[in-house]
């Protein structure tokens, strides 16, 4: 199973083999990420909650979910590459920050934002 480092190398090699780096400014990558997130959201448009929950059990729905999530991940890797940071390290750092903002004893079972936790 590939890790983020090997996926990053694969997506940048894919990009470079096609000479697409010229189109991958940071703004364009961020816009593209959001377009892909919109495509993920579109999978659920007009569906009832139970239909959305059933998507992973439907072969076509599961494939669509996988493909859109993969597109999002690949754009995140391209953004991290362009901006010069390690996405896995950034995610780990963000988890540490979130753990401090949402301590278990205050956040357990709550949907409140960290500023509203008592």
* Residue-level pLDDT at 38: 98
* Residue-level pLDDT at 118: 79
- What is the pTM assigned to this prediction? 0.93
* Residue-level pLDDT at 117: 92
Is the separation of the CB atoms in 75 and 32 below 8 Å?
yes
Name the H helices within the chain: 4-17, 26-42, 49-54, 59-83, 87-101, 104-107
- In SS3 terms, 33-65 reads as HHHHHHHHHHCCCCCCHHHHHHHHHCHHHHHHH
Is the separation of the CB atoms in 106 and 49 below 8 Å?
no
Nearest to 85 by CA among 77, 97, 95: 77
Q: What is the pLDDT along the chain (118 residues), one digit of tens a residue?
A: 899 999 999 999 999 999 999 999 999 999 999 999 999 999 999 999 999 999 999 999 999 999 999 999 999 999 999 999 999 999 999 999 999 999 999 999 999 999 999 7
Q: Which of the listed CATH numbers 1.10.287.1080, 3.40.50.970, 3.40.190.10, 1.10.540.10 matches domain 4-85?
A: 1.10.287.1080
Q: Where in the chain is the domain with CATH 1.10.287.1080?
A: 4-85
* Alpha carbons 102 and 107: distance in angstroms, whole number: 5
* Alpha carbons 14 and 33: distance in angstroms, whole number: 17
* Alpha carbons 27 and 44: distance in angstroms, whole number: 27
């Amino acid at each position: 199973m590939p890790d983020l480092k090997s996926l990053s190398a694969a997506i940048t090699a894919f990009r470079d083999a096609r000479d697409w780096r010229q189109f991958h400014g940071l703004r364009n990558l961020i816009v593209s990420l959001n377009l892909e997130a919109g495509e993920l959201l579109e999978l659920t448009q007009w569906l009832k909650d139970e239909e959305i929950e059933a998507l992973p059990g439907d072969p076509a729905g599961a494939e669509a979910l996988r493909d859109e999530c993969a597109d999002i991940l690949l754009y995140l890797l391209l953004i991290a590459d362009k901006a010069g940071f390690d996405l896995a390290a950034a995610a780990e750092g963000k988890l540490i920050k979130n753990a401090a903002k949402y301590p278990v004893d205050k956040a357990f079972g709550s949907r409140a934002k960290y500023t509203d936790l008592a």
